[in-house]
A and B are shown apart, each in its own frame.
Chain A
Amino acid sequence: MTSTAPATGTDVDALRAIADRVAAQARPGEQVEAYVSRGTNTSVDAYEGEIESLTQAGSAGIGVRVIRDGRTGFAYAGSLDDDIVAEALAEARDNLPFAEPDEWAGLAEPDGVPATALDVHREAVLATPVEDKVRMAIDLERMVRDADPRVKGVRAASYTDAEGAFAVATSTGISVGGRSTIAYVSVSALADDGDASVIAGGISVGRAIDEVSLEEAADDAVTRLLEKIGSTKPESAEVTLILEPRLTATLLGIVSGMLGGEAVAKGRSPFAGRIGEQVGSPLLTIVDDPTNAESLGAEPYDDEGLATRRVPLLQGGVLQGFLHNTHSARRAGTASTASAARGYSTRPGISARALTVEPGSGDLDSLLAGVDDGVLASALGGIHSGVNPISGDFSVSVEGLRVRGGERAEPIKEATLASTLQRLLLDVSHVGADVEWQPGGTGGVTLLIPGVSLSGR
């Protein structure tokens, strides 16, 4: 059986033809997979009313996996020229004998799950004249500069869009492809604050130029900026952490990394062996659903060519399962959740695409009104250095507002929040109903988490 993609235009067909050609060269006893991608992007940075830089470019590449006797060889190249593609296949074969046999090695095979029809491509990205894109960046910069006299400058204001297509074909019967677009505007604004400056950013994301909002990005940046002026280092305390939907999405992203089947199988996740156990608050139900068109992470196929599907992770705080690609699923004796993710230069890893929390009740303002002694975080820093997904140790810098008696109080900076990821999940005391889809594809809601250590003075 062969999985086939819906008709998606000549470009995808061309990529599929390349991938099919490589996969067809599998020799007896070999499995061969080709992952081919191509993208174009336009990016404009504005500064002081002028174009600072305008980038228009395209790139393409191929990654080839060859598996024989449980050994995997991999090679990639940043070009789709015939000779380079042939070289990548030859090089992958050449690398193969040096890998050690792995009983779970194998490519994806068609599993009968139908792909969801998702409209994730907009012709507008290619059709819009570059002048209109330039105007977006210049207008955004002006809007932020004019928004308030306290805005002293804009570090960067930019418009970016990209159109990409990919195809994956295997000698095991997979041949799919697809294409998608994305567009966003982002801005970071500066204001004076005593001897130093404060900086804050705003962003708006959609699938094309008409789906992004300059107002949203500008308001976001200016509101956050003005809120920061006069921040001081707070007293150390134990507080209720109030995570707005944007930062809940950040937390979910870290947690989903710990639920990846490979980390679990290799004993690198504190959640290993805990399916069926209460690992989170009973209020927490988390799913990854790339078939939900509301998410910018929505995709009909994963990067091994399987149709994406809804994957329950936590139900009422009870661990339901892990995210798998083909390899980790074989190792765990289960089916892939179609969570393979990669670029052409890497082998498939595992990643969530469209995480969401099942909504509870209330929104940021109503939940905040019930907090006696808290911190409303506006930015968490040092996540890559202070959060260890293996031990679960969690220590991040925080900026935001102190909350007292249900009211927003003074702005804070130069402080840290510490706990463990395991503790944070169990201690969630309220889940909001205010689902907001984030640029990375995650749908966040407001969360309240009591008992978090705030370190300051």
Chain B
Amino acid sequence: MIEEPTLERVLQRALRTGGEFAEVFAEDKSSSNGVLDDGRVEQLSSGRDRGAGIRVVVGDTTGFAHTADLTEAGLLQAAEAASAAARQGGGGVRSVALTRTDVPNPSSVAVLPDDVPKADRVAVLRRADEAARALGREITQVTASVGGSRRRILVANSDGLLTADDQVRTLFSVAAVASGDTGMQTGRKSAGHTMGWELFDQIDVEAFAVEAAEMAITKLRARPAPSGQLPVVIGAGSGGVLFHEACGHGLEKDLVDKGASVYAGKVGELVASPLVTLVDDGTIAGEWGAFAVDDEGSPGRRNVLIQDGVLTDYLWDFLRSRKDCRATSGNGRRQSYKHLPMVRMTNTFLENGDTRPEDVIAGTDRGVYVAKLGGGQVNTASGDFVFGMQEAYLIEDGEITDPIREGNLIGNGPQCLRDIEVIADDFAFGGPGTCGKDGQGVPVGDGCPTLRVKQLTIGGVSS
């Protein structure tokens, strides 16, 4: 993307006003996307974004500038703008010698989405639409989309680091609307992996679409969600988002340092039920949040955050780990070259317990079974979180019974972690997610086995 001598000269320029650290992050991202909606392939679109972000650090201050101009002149101009924040420092020349380090990407790509004929890309959309609508007249609308992206990044910094990554992601999703006497309900399913078009070797497109459509139809006969505190059984897979919200964000070291986390000062303490072992791992081949190096050039790692209920470590990026004189955990990520990196999760998941999932349900007298969790959010300062139930059922006398309408679940992170009563042995990864923080979205994965929380508050209307 950029020649080595150019990078060295740009870093040198960035340091000229006294910066202690400088970095060039270059990105070349191409993406394509096909959408079928309302029975018609509406569009196939494609796009390309390319540019570089340059940051200069002096003391606790970071200067940052980005440019879409990857010529040496464009990069030097951005380097000057970024170093403006470091203006108070002394001048002088510091030369930078880069050493290239290649980190193998854990995920492999068999077929680049761009190499698949466009006609084949839209064909899967058509198949999904037909399969979903074949369920009958209750299905009144179907949207199917398929997207592929290739993101090539290059990171060079004044510590001499020079590394690169090539991240290919493929995403397929189907959303259906069912209509009946009770109004409209929705069902959706998505699969996203850090891999190429071979994603479709793993997916039965028709069965996938039918599942989304059946979810919408099932919800037509849903009862109003209950209101108040109840035991909640979270199904394997998408329930991982619970840990992303209830705990993961609070372990991001930037928030911990600013006193905005309930987990500050708790390393070594029992913060969860002893059944809980929580991991964040950027190296899991094919998962949505996987990469070779993070957006600061540090290799992805497997980081155990909670071991048998005890908090073992936080998540770190370059700036935070530099301040504490330790290694980064490989969690410095950014949405694009236009953004500064910060501490972010990768693939966050709860490890298996040893109970059978059916016994978890049978052991619940009255409660709610959440088969599919939607998005959520957390206030890391208080630990209070909220997330949506996309597909949920009542549990009565140890059995899953009627579906319930959508609603939010709320709880408090530390309390919820302590209230985990039982964990099953049926671990699964959930769907692909986009985690938002301070206006930046990055791809993340999550997962969990079936588990039961003693009580969460259900935001329904019926008592």
Contact = CB atoms under 8 A, between A and B. Distances in A.
Contacts of B186: 388, 390-391
A72 B82 CA distance: 41
A56 B67 CA distance: 10
A196 B41 CA distance: 51
B461 A53 contact: no
Interface in B174-227: 177, 179, 183-186, 225, 227
Contact of B118 (A54, A87, A98, A266): A98
Contacts of B262: 195-197
A50 B227 contact: no
Nearest to A457: B229
Contacts of B412: 414
B62 A386 contact: no
Contacts of A99: 41-44
B47 interface: yes
A415 B60 contact: no
B461 A386 contact: no
Q: Which 6 A-B pairs have the closest CB atoms?
A: A416-B459, A385-B388, A382-B386, A386-B408, A78-B49, A395-B407
A265 B39 CA distance: 13
Contacts of A455: 227-228, 457-460
A266 B384 contact: no
Contact of B44 (A95, A268, A395, A416): A95
Given A59-B338, A84-B48, A414-B411, A102 B381 contact: no
A83 B48 CA distance: 13
Nearest to A346: B45
Interface string A79-114: 100001001100100110011101000000000000
A78 B66 CA distance: 12
Residue of A58, A78, A84 with highest tally of chain B CB at under 10 A: A78
Contact of A267 (B118, B141, B411, B414): B141
Contact of A197 (B141, B179, B382): B382
B297 interface: no
Contacts of A347: 43, 45
Interface in A142-166: 152-153, 155-156
Residue of A155, A386, A392 with highest tally of chain B CB at under 10 A: A386
A148 B297 CA distance: 42
B387 interface: yes
A391 B262 CA distance: 36
Contacts of B63: 53-55
B376 A382 contact: yes
A77 B48 contact: yes
Interface string B113-149: 0000011011000000000000000001100000000
Residue of B50, B51, B386 with highest tally of chain A CB at under 10 A: B386
Given A72-B43, A74-B43, A76-B45, A152 B259 contact: yes
Residue of B68, B81, B406 with highest tally of chain A CB at under 10 A: B68
B1 to A, nearest CB: 14
Interface string B152-188: 0000000000000000000000000101000111100
23 contacts: A50-B61, A57-B64, A57-B338, A59-B338, A74-B43, A75-B46, A76-B47, A78-B47, A78-B48, A78-B51, A84-B48, A88-B47, A98-B118, A102-B40, A156-B438, A197-B260, A199-B379, A267-B140, A391-B406, A395-B407, A397-B459, A415-B457, A456-B457
A36 interface: no
A195 to B, nearest CB: 7
A55 B65 contact: yes
Interface string B50-75: 11010000011111111110000000
Contact of A52 (B60, B118, B410, B463): B60
Interface of A is mostly: strand
B68 A78 contact: yes
A222 B34 CA distance: 47
Contact of B260 (A155, A381, A384, A393): A155
A53 B62 contact: yes
A270 interface: yes
A295 B122 CA distance: 42
Interface string A380-415: 011011101011110111000000000000000111
A340 interface: no
A403 to B, nearest CB: 20
Contacts of B82: 56
Given A102-B40, A382-B376, A415 B228 contact: no
B375 interface: yes
Interface residues of A, number: 77
Contacts of A416: 227, 386, 407-408, 410, 457-459
Given A55-B66, A76-B46, A455-B457, 19 more contacts: A54-B62, A57-B78, A74-B44, A99-B42, A99-B44, A153-B259, A196-B382, A233-B457, A270-B184, A345-B49, A347-B45, A381-B379, A386-B386, A391-B405, A396-B459, A416-B386, A416-B407, A456-B457, A457-B228
A266 B141 contact: yes
Nearest to B229: A457
Given A51-B61, A54-B63, A384-B375, A236 B47 contact: no
B387 to A, nearest CB: 5
A413 B382 contact: yes
Contacts of B53: 57
A55 B53 CA distance: 10
A72 B227 contact: no
B20 interface: no
Interface of A: 47-48, 50-61, 72-79, 84, 87-88, 91, 94-95, 98-100, 102, 130, 152-153, 155-156, 190, 193, 195-199, 233, 236, 265-268, 270, 345, 347, 381-382, 384-386, 388, 390-393, 395-397, 413-419, 453, 455-457
A396 B410 CA distance: 9
B408 A385 contact: yes
B383 interface: yes
Nearest to A265: B38
Contacts of A397: 384, 386, 408, 410, 459
B259 A190 contact: yes
A303 B258 CA distance: 40
Given A74-B43, A76-B47, A453-B227, A396 B340 contact: no
Nearest to A266: B38
A196 B374 CA distance: 26
B84 interface: yes
Contacts of A390: 177, 184-186
Contacts of B227: 236, 416, 418, 453, 455
Nearest to A61: B49
Nearest to A53: B62
A455 B229 CA distance: 8
Nearest to A70: B40
A57 B410 contact: no
A15 to B, nearest CB: 15
Contacts of B43: 72-74, 95, 99, 347
B12 interface: no
B381 A199 contact: yes
A393 B121 CA distance: 34
B442 interface: no
B352 interface: no
B340 A55 contact: yes
A84 B177 CA distance: 39
Contact of A391 (B61, B184, B228, B384): B184
